[in-house]
Structure 1
Amino acid sequence: MRTALATLFALGLALLGSFAFAQGHKLVAQDDYLDEPLESNRLDQDFRDKLSNIRKDRAVRVAKAVKVDANILQASLLLFVTPSGESVSVNRIRIETRKSSAYTWYGRVSSGGEAILEVKGKQVYGYITIDATSYQIRNFGVDRHILVEVDLSKLPAHAGDNPAPLATAPNQQ
């Protein structure tokens, strides 16, 4: 009887562990976002100014100060929660290590998209793209990150996308 109970207990722990792993490590979770009313109390003026300037960009839907834990980027599965509360899984494809504390994490979003995240010590920056939205993690020092939701359709076209016809190009002598 004890053996059967011990086996069931071990099986239960294994299933619980698999469930926790399937959930992924949270890169940015809902409670990691700092709401705007709290910004004036928790962020210094320089950081608030940077956040305010980012928010002025017409392609920026949302910009929020966030907590990002660089240590979890060793995981093969990440859970990313968007500012609107949508959870997406990001599976690691590979890691390119430059130094023990400097590497690039490449991943694929389960619902379609990609992620490239750079880590240097405790500083993280990069992006996660899902459909026509890019989520950028911008770093402004240790434990100073801003998550920016960018509407890619509002970015200007690249200059090379529509080159000027040769007849209207400036003369080069």
Structure 2
Amino acid sequence: MIQLTPAAEADLPEIAALSNWAYRGTGAVASWTVESYLEGERTTAEALRADLAANPEAQILVWRDESGELQGHCWLEAGPDGAWYLGLLSVRPDRQDRKLGRTLLAAAEDHARARGGRRMQMTVINVRDTLIAWYQRRGYGLTGETRPFPYGDERFGRPLRDDLCFVVLERGL
């Protein structure tokens, strides 16, 4: 099992860099999860700082190897009735063939479960069929709920399509 620790202020630039690498393909090795229908950065240290300040129930958890190198991270936020929100799940694209994503996902679920979590929810952009299928193979189901994409808010990138929204996935813990 891996050790997840709460991110410190000093971790935010590194978390933003890994997020941009994983979501936008800004590193040497592209990820299969690259969002090619958005341009610009996925996030910045400043945006992460602001999001954490605006969501006191949330934290970013980091996973580092024995040498201290960041392997992955995720956003976890406790919600009502034992529902937890999982977001920004990212692992190093140059190591994705080592099952890091599923390992990080399981650790995030264990973290929430140990703190009273009964369900995990997430949102995924509707056109990410491969990613949605990946989560479904790990027990997440589409709830039928959708949420609007934040057009006009470039903190998440500039959309290149006008048909984006978020689908909600959920799994019992």
Higher strand share: 1
The structure with the largest alpha-carbon Rg is 1
Using structure 1 for the length normalisation, give the TM-score: 0.31
Using structure 2 for the length normalisation, give the TM-score: 0.31
